[in-house]
Structure 1
Amino acid sequence: MRIFTLATLFPNAARPNFGIFVERQTAALAARAGVEVTVISPQAVPPWPLSRHSRYRAIAALPAHESWHGLDVHRPRFMHVPGIGSHWQPQLLARAVLPMVRRLHREQPFDLIDAEFFYPDGPAARIIAQELGLPYSVKARGADIHHWGNAARTREAVVQAGRDANGLLAVSAALKADMVALGMPADRIMVHYTGCDQQRFAPQDGSALRQQLGITGQMLISVGALIPRKRQNLIIEALPLMPDATLVLAGAGEAEAEFRALAVRLGVDSRVTFAGSLPHDDLPRWIAAADVMVLPSKSEGLANAWVESLACGTPIVICDAGGAAELLTDPVAGLIADAHPAALADAIGRVLAARPDPAAVRACVARFSWDRNADELHRYFERILAA
């Protein structure tokens, strides 16, 4: 089985945490006997001189082809004009990638195209699949459906890519329902839960890190990009109701300045630590040191941060987004709260008072592994190829 994985969401030297769950899934699949995977991770780069901007300079300097953690990865560039033309991205991506794919396909034919994000990857995979006469699959992860699938200028391309695909994946049953509501065929959508490195993400003593951070009371951590959709502002707004709690924000993003100003305005800035975008391999000790992981996102598929936190034995408080109810089936794992500060503070207080055993919390996600994830993906691709 020769798979061409199309993934704009994939880590690189400029952004080592970007789409790391796609890398882990792909590596686990590639480790299966009889499976060969070639990753093509297109990079959106604007024309010169915008390409010299600090936001794009490191991306433009990435190698065009490399071995990335054992995976064969190509990184072709495609045209990107910041601020305009997002609806043109699938066509621009496909046009840039097709010559390379045709050459690789001639040398060793691919059996299937695996698109790992719904936009622009899904519509681009549709174009490439039609050109090469190959079946294709698209995986939905959350924001790609909730944003691009509902935006006026991209909805049609997203839905068409879903309708024409030979198979579709969704990271939760809730996300599958959202895809069906858009008009995608339910009988072609398989729920494919994420994996987790259960050896790396495990309970551990966090006292040294807490001492290093100067935290003597309760430690809350929020793992996720600092963007409006993740709504970390609600946790900051809840802090005045939790005078013994310190919040660690593990992430970076466009809303950081706004969140810093909010913390100052509420007089809780001394109890908010902006840790930045931590290396993924360093996350377990930060999560395990916390009493609760809080992520009040407006939308999700099924967040990897939820699963990784529970694997570390740290209960979670989240809002009713995506697969939240599919994951939190046991109260020991945490609570789903309404999206306002008082409700979050109340839920966090109840979880803290319960003092759940880390081993019991971890047991709630024992089924989430990359081996299980890869086995399911392998069987799913076999079904597509046998159809």
Structure 2
Amino acid sequence: MAQESLALREQNWADDTLAAHAGLPVSHSSAATKACKGKALWQASVYDFDSVVQSQSASYAYRRFNSPNGDELASAVAALEGAEAGLATSSGMGAIVSAILSVCKSGDILITHSDSYGGTREFFSIDLRAFGIHVIFEDVQNSTLLDSALTQALAPYEKTKTQVRAVVFLESVANPLIRVADVGAAAGVCEKHSALLIVDNTFATPLRSKPLKQGAHIVVHSVSKFLGGHAEVIAGVVVGSRQYVDEASKRAGRWGLTAAPFDAWLALQGVRTLQVRMERCWCTSAELAERLSNSQIPLQVNWAPKCSVLSFEVPGGFAGADKAVSTFQLIRLSPSLGGTTSTVSHSASSSHKLVPVEERQLLGITDGLLRLSVGLEDVEDIWNDLEQGLIAASKIEPST
């Protein structure tokens, strides 16, 4: 994994070149190797050997631990992120679980923001606490609040000279409110407290943000989203130093969290078109955000440059959101994002449905909030569909 990533990065290629060559050979080798690498699907669950000695030095033995296709995907994303090594996992949550539990143990501290993806929040609030890890929800995108949270959390251990690890987890672009994190500022605070910084870079992609270069220690992705890009694969990736990735790989192998060969193979096809897809979606997203902000129907719009996801609060609360979604003809309701077609989701009833209502409201994840993932369709077609849905929602009486 690391050798492939380093070979790609040493070429000093631009991101679009790295993406286009994802998983393909970069070194001079035999024609047969070149023909297979990056093209072949290694759908084997086990590998046979001629001797015990051969089996001991083999790179692949049992698919639960790793596969050639998984390593090709991991290396491609590691190259885009500027990482030494990578691990391909069974999903984005598989990447988060592998990364977190490879660095956290019972008694350690994890600090994260409340408005993160619902599945991530559930893992932290339910499973990590069951492992004896202290979870603190704070606005980690605010460096002052993060500094205060780390100071308070670590103070009791410093007094007793107890060894404890603090981990900060943040999304480079928060889901669904599209809050952009200052990763460099967060990394500076983490360095002050000797804390580990893990960044979910799914929404930004390596084309917008490279957290490792800003001081993060580990980066995770849900490959199911923009990297795969065609709504046909479930996979994740962990990238970082060889040390961190090796530890994450051990957990993923023991727990069966590595990526399936076919999913990894499919994902690589998506990575190769990442640059052109994202540039198209970014342009469309910017145009739609401007039109929504200037709409005659008052809307709260959440958007950021170079991000193809935006969210907005429609009038009428839940009933208004339901009416808008029901009116859309082109834009479909979907629990995921990042594909070639535009999709919408209702966070309050899907990704964040387990967040208490009062807290959800305080965060700004209201019953009328819709999250739009912008696809590759013509901008006028998307806008016309959005406009019809908004008009329909505006005619709904606000829910009580």
TM-score by length of 2: 0.33
